[in-house]
Amino acid sequence: MRRQQVAAAAGAARWRGGGGGGAATAWWWVAAVVLGHLVSSARAGLLESNPGLAYNFYQKSCPNVDSIVRSVTWAQVAANPALPARLLRLHFHDCFVKGCDASILLDNAQSEKTAGPNLSVGGYEVIDAIKTQLEQACPGVVSCADIVALAARDAVSYQFKSSLWQVETGRRDGTVSLASNTGALPSPFAGFNGLLQSFAARGLNLTDLIALSGAHTIGVASCSSVTPRLYNGNATNVDPLLDSAYAKTLMNSCPSSSASGTVNLDGRTAVKFDSSYYTNVLNKQGTLASDAALTQNAAAAQMVQDLTNPIKFYAAFSMSMKKMGRVEVLTGTNGQIRKQCRQVNSS
Ligand code: HEM
């Protein structure tokens, strides 16, 4: 266990705390962060061999990388509370398509970002701003893929003022980005088995599926991702896995099958990164059909129940983010370190 992180967690608790209520907050928060780091350190190594990543990979080559990424990310999140969700999803969509290699950032014709599931992905400008600063501090050293992983962590961690999970670095950037590869992303209309298969294809298991789905505790979905659960053409036709009162809430935001707005993924605490997502799912108030699908398997439903506990959620999320961050990474001399995140280096 790294001492600075415990100290940082305790510091965060003090920052959040204050009076007697603060002391209670401090206890569970420190426990959650410590447990998360412990479990992710101890178990991720056992679950999967390390693909060549390391903590502090840039210790000698770019010692200020962590503080540069954090300061740019926190400044942008302070001005735009939608960014934690965007950056977290950006990292997920990067890792699931040809691995965590920043291929989602490339701007060429027919690239990944032009594909349907990526049209509502954002946060690219934050990555550009971070890259600009890093190129000034340490030219040609820090990969765009690592920036995406670090920015996701820092954006989500902003509300805690302390890192919620540890990020390994040493990824290198890919040179291929094709919209046709995005079929690897899971569909919001997938059933339980489809979701499990999609994760298994990336080396992720049931625990990872349940833990990472907790990312839907923040952010929004387009009405088009939800309306098939509410309407059949012009008729109301509510998904039986959807609570009727919550269905009405969703219908208010998306009044017809062709509505174009957005809904919060977590109807309780939309911008707080907490475990209420799991309570929603148990109460048939998960927003996407894929959220509801997690109750359709006994083992999965038990895990959903377990992760309503915030301490367990943060621990499980930390561990699974570390695994997701290892998916098909390029390391060593593979790939390249892009000079600009939106285009491959001209040799
Ligand atoms: C389990 C399979 C998953 C499916 C089917 C899925 C699907 C979706 C869909 C359809 C949306 C809304 C997009 C839109 O309508 O515009 C969304 C949003 C989001 N997803 Fe997932 N997702 C999954 C897993 C994940 C994972 C593993 C993460 C991250 C670790 C994640 C993070 C997010 C976030 C943060 C948002 C909100 C984005 C924003 O507000 O900009 N999702 N997801």
217 is in an annotated binding site: yes
In the chain, the domains with their CATH numbers are 192-323 (1.10.420.10)
pLDDT at 152 over 80: yes
* Residue 129: φ, ψ to 5°: -65, -40
In this prediction, residue 347 carries a pLDDT of: 72
Kindly list the protein residues whose Cβ atom lies closer than 6 A to any atom of ligand 1.
85-86, 88-89, 92, 120, 122, 186-188, 190, 195, 209, 212-213, 215-216, 218-222, 225, 265, 288, 290
Say what the pLDDT of residue 62 is: 98
C-beta of residue 122 within 8 angstroms of C-beta of residue 198: no
Phi, psi of 330 (to 5 degrees): -95, 130
Q: State the pLDDT at residue 316.
A: 98
Catalytic-role residue among 70, 89, 93, 322: 93
Q: Give the integer Cα–Cα distance in Å for 200 and 208.
A: 10
Ligand 1 center from residue 199 Cα (angstroms): 14
Tokens of 175: 């040179």
The predicted pLDDT at position 23 comes to 42
Q: Which of 16-20, 60-64, 197-201 has the lowest mean pLDDT?
A: 16-20
Contact 276, 215 (CB under 8 A): no
Q: What is the pLDDT of residues 171-180, one digit of tens each?
A: 999 999 999 9
Nearest Cα residue to atom 7 of ligand 1: 188
- The pLDDT tens digits of the residues spanning 206-246 come to 999 999 999 999 999 999 999 999 999 889 999 999 999 99
The pLDDT of residue 34 is: 59
Per-residue pLDDT at 19 exceeds 60 = no
State yes or no: pLDDT of 12 exceeds 90: no
The pLDDT of residue 45: 41
Say how many Å lie between the CA of residue 59 and the centre of ligand 1. 32
261 is in an annotated binding site: no
* pLDDT above 90 (res 22): no
For residue 23, CA distances in Å to 10, 157, 249 come to 11, 20, 36
Look at residue 277 in the predicted model and tell me its pLDDT.
98
For the CA of 187, the closest atom of ligand 1 is 5
Categorize the per-residue pLDDT at 84 as very low, low, confident or very high, splitting at 50, 70 and 90. Answer: very high
**93 a catalytic residue:** yes
Give the pLDDT mean for 146-163: 98
**pLDDT at position 116, please?**
96
Q: Which carries the bigger pLDDT value, residue 346 or residue 34?
A: 346
Percent of the chain topping pLDDT 70: 86
**Per-residue pLDDT band at 107 (split at 50, 70, 90):** very high
Residue-level pLDDT at 226: 98
261-288: pLDDT as tens digits: 999 999 999 999 999 999 999 999 999 9
